[in-house]
Structure 1
Amino acid sequence: MDFQKLKDFRNTHNPFCEKLGILVEEIQAGCAKVTKHVTEEDLNPAGLAHGGVYFSMADTAAGAASASHGFFAVTVNAQYNYLRGGRPGDTFTAVARESKSGRTICVYDVQVTNQDGTLLGTGTFTYYLLDRKIEL
């Protein structure tokens, strides 16, 4: 699997992430890293980054890591723990690491941090690998 081509594919074929400004920075076997710069448009009424930003980043990182197997996949379960809030101007990073790889089910542990390395949240995401190869 050419991980550079896979990264490029993930960045050019995901309109949802394009809209949110989530960028896949790295994909390796069973792991991936995504980043996002937090803007005013990402805030909730309290002036902090909306929870959907953290969750979407974690899901995107885990999805990119699952794509390293060469197949499209869908999320079948997700659990996310919000630990700290982020503000406009922050840069968030989500890193997913595979904790279980199976023929059809894979599980990923994800950490979301800010530009200072402060842990903002953690999650566990379960993916079902579809019988549909990613053609690069």
Structure 2
Amino acid sequence: MDFEKLKEFRNTHNPFCERLGIRVDEIGPGYARIVKHVTEEDLNPAGLAHGGLYFTMADTASGAACASHGYYGVTVNANYNYYRSGKPGDTLTAEATEGKAGRTLCVYDVRVTNQDGTLLGTGTFTYYMLDRKIDL
């Protein structure tokens, strides 16, 4: 698998993440790192980064790590724990690592941090592997 090509593919074929400014920074075997700069448009009514942003970043990171196997996968279960909030100007990073790579199910643990390395939340995401190869 050419991980640079996969990274580029993930960054150019995901309109939802493109609209939000979420970018794949790195993909490797069973691993992915996603980056996002928090803007005013990402805030909730309290003036903090919206919880949906963290969840989307965690899902995107684990989905990219799942794609490292060369096949599409779809989320079948997700659990996310919110610990702290980000604010405008922060740079958030979501890192997904593989806990289990199976023929039909793959599980990923995700950590979301800010630019200081402060842990903002964690999640566990389970993917069903489709019988559909990613053509780069």
TM band (smaller chain): over 0.9
How far is the alpha carbon of 1:104 from its aligned partner? 1.0
Gaps of 5+ in 2: none
Question: Residue 131 of structure 1 aligns to which amino acid in structure 2?
Answer: D
Determine whether 1:110 maps to 2:110. yes
C-alpha displacement at 1:86, in angstroms?
0.6
% of aligned pairs identical? Answer: 77
Distance 1:46 1:110 in 2: 25
Distance 1:105 1:114 in 2: 30
Equivalent residue, structure 2, for 1:125? 125
**Partner SS for 1:52:** helix
In 1, distance between residues paired with 2:15 and 2:101?
Answer: 27
Whole-angstrom CA distance in 2 between matches of 1:34 and 1:120: 14
Partner residue of 2:41?
41
Size of the alignment, in residue pairs? 136
Partner of 1:73, secondary structure, is strand
1:54 equivalent in structure 2: 54
In 2: Cα distance, 1:72 partner to 1:99 partner? 18
Question: How far apart in 2 are the matches of 1:129 and 1:26?
Answer: 21
TM-score, reference length from structure 1: 1.00
Flag as ranges the 4+ runs of structure 1 deviating above 2 A: none
Residues 56-113 of structure 1: CA distance to partner in whole angstroms, max 9, x if unpaired? 0000000000000000110000000000001000000000000001001000000000
Q: CA RMSD in A?
A: 0.3
1:1-136 equivalences under 5 Å are 1-136=1-136
CA distance in 1, matches of 2:60, 2:27: 11
TM-score, normalised via structure 2 length = 1.00
The secondary structure found in structure 1 opposite 2:18 is helix
- 1:15 is displaced (CA, Å) by 0.1
